[in-house]
Structure 1
Amino acid sequence: MDQPSFIVPSSSTAQQVYDWLHDRILRGDLAPGARLSETEIAGQVGVSRQPVREAFIRLTAAGLAEVRPQRGTFIGRISVGAVLSARLIREAVESDLIRMVSATTSPALLAQLDQQLEAQREASARQHVEDFIALDDQFHRSLAKAAGHADVWDVLEGLKSQMNRLRYITARVFDHQKLLDQHTAIVEALRDGHADRAEQAMRLHLRELLTDLPEIARNKPEFFTK
């Protein structure tokens, strides 16, 4: 793992170690099944083992790590059930949100979404997966905020850790163009003031995972659990 340089003495060390490991697990830098060593990570970060141990406990509680008796702590496999549940919740919530947005769409919002789409295209052209996913999240957060429910996106974000792990895998494997086209279809439906089409485009977009997941699971069965 890369040498981190983020530890700030004035903040909780355990929280900082947790955030760092959490981010690396979601991005796939730490693959499912990889062993976590308290001693190794403490040495790399430059802290005692106690905050690392606390971070491991939190990762385990979040379903991102697992303790195997007499063997140690390992990166947890991706829960297919958790991914599908998060996707279902997102579709139900975001389909309602997009209908709310369609009733109040403004030129300023459309300009903002157009700019975000262009930034996504640029990130895709650079093959920068982290930027692409961050911009994807920004796009959906902007729609939730436009609907007057930015806090709802924060709730969704807390539910989709396992889903985000899959997103990083698919963003490295599959062509981004389909997702870009789907985002564009959502924006064009809003531009036309067509609520039904906007909702349909959102549902289609969020169901893309149902196609991607089986293929990834077949190719990387060791990464997944029910």
Structure 2
Amino acid sequence: MSKTYSSAERAYREVKERILAGALPGGELISEGEIATDLGTSRTPVREAFLRLETEGWMKLYPKRGALVVPVPAGEAEHVVHARYVVETAAARGLAAADRAGVAEALREAIERQREFAAAGDLEQFAAMDTEFHRTLVVAAGNPLLIGFYDSLRERQRRMNSAAVRRHARGAEQIVEQHGRLADRIEAGDAEGFAALLVEHLSGVHQLELKGL
């Protein structure tokens, strides 16, 4: 691997991480120069990273002006949340007839980590652990097709979570409390109760009116 490629990969990973974590919010215009200076590299690897991010839909490049971080498209949040609801409730139904002790313990461990990140004021890690909490449930259900589909939403989900947490930094305690209630429903094998709480949770966190759920 060449040095240039290594620098481009590093620039790509760093800029994408900032987008997903909300440090570079949608609608912000950034330049190759400022990122290159920040990373201590030349503009060439940053240019390559920007091109790759544009191909993936995270950026829109404007020659001689810079790169625009693409905002979450209209309607995408609703689509992601609806897809998550379908997968997570299917997982909850699958777990209702299974041994749930292990997944309940894993969910509570994730909740405890969230409490720690909230107490430390680490919103980025709090948002990342939010994503992990929900994924833990899906993985525990053991359907590889659902896991693969859910993971295809992971980056969009993380970006949405980061934005939501930044909007409502004081809402971390409420999120943790709701996660506790969701974990209780899983432990009890109450798939219908879980589904009802999940609608309340997702609509509140992402400020969406979820219809048809």
TM-score category (smaller protein)? 0.7 to 0.9
Q: Structure 1 stretches of 5 or more lacking a match?
A: 1-7, 214-226
- Counterpart position of 2:69: 75
- Counterpart position of 1:55: 49
Structure 1 segment 1-226 matched on structure 2, within 5 A:
12-68=6-62, 71-149=65-143, 152-159=146-153, 161-174=155-168, 175-209=171-205, 211=207
Tell me, in whole angstroms, the C-alpha distance in 1 between the residues paired with 2:129 and 2:158.
13
Amino acid at match of 1:186: L
Deviates more, 1:157-166 or 1:98-107: 157-166
> TM-score, normalised on structure 1?
0.77
Tell me, in whole angstroms, the C-alpha distance in 1 between the residues paired with 2:35 and 2:62.
18
- Aligned-residue Cα RMSD (Å) equals 2.7
**SS at structure 1 position matched to 2:75:** helix
Relative distance call for 1:100 and 1:178 in structure 2 (3 A) is same
Question: Are 2:131 and 2:158, in contact at CA under 8 Å, matched by a contact in 1?
Answer: no
Amino acid at match of 1:147: A
> TM-score, normalised on structure 2?
0.81
Deviates more, 1:149-158 or 1:165-174: 149-158
Aligned length: 206
Taking only the aligned residue pairs, the percentage that are identical comes to 30
Question: Are 2:175 and 2:205, in contact at CA under 8 Å, matched by a contact in 1?
Answer: no
Relative distance call for 1:152 and 1:188 in structure 2 (3 A) is same
Q: CA deviation at 1:79?
A: 1.6
1:79-132 alpha-carbon deviations (Å, 9 max, x no partner): 232222111111111111121122213323222222222222222222221221
Q: CA deviation at 1:22?
A: 0.7
Tell me, in whole angstroms, the C-alpha distance in 1 between the residues paired with 2:16 and 2:138.
25
Q: CA deviation at 1:158?
A: 3.2
Q: Structure 2 stretches of 5 or more lacking a match?
A: none
1:166-223 alpha-carbon deviations (Å, 9 max, x no partner): 322321232123322221121111222222212322333223345269xxxxxxxxxx
Amino acid at match of 1:63: G
Tell me, in whole angstroms, the C-alpha distance in 1 between the residues paired with 2:140 and 2:9.
31
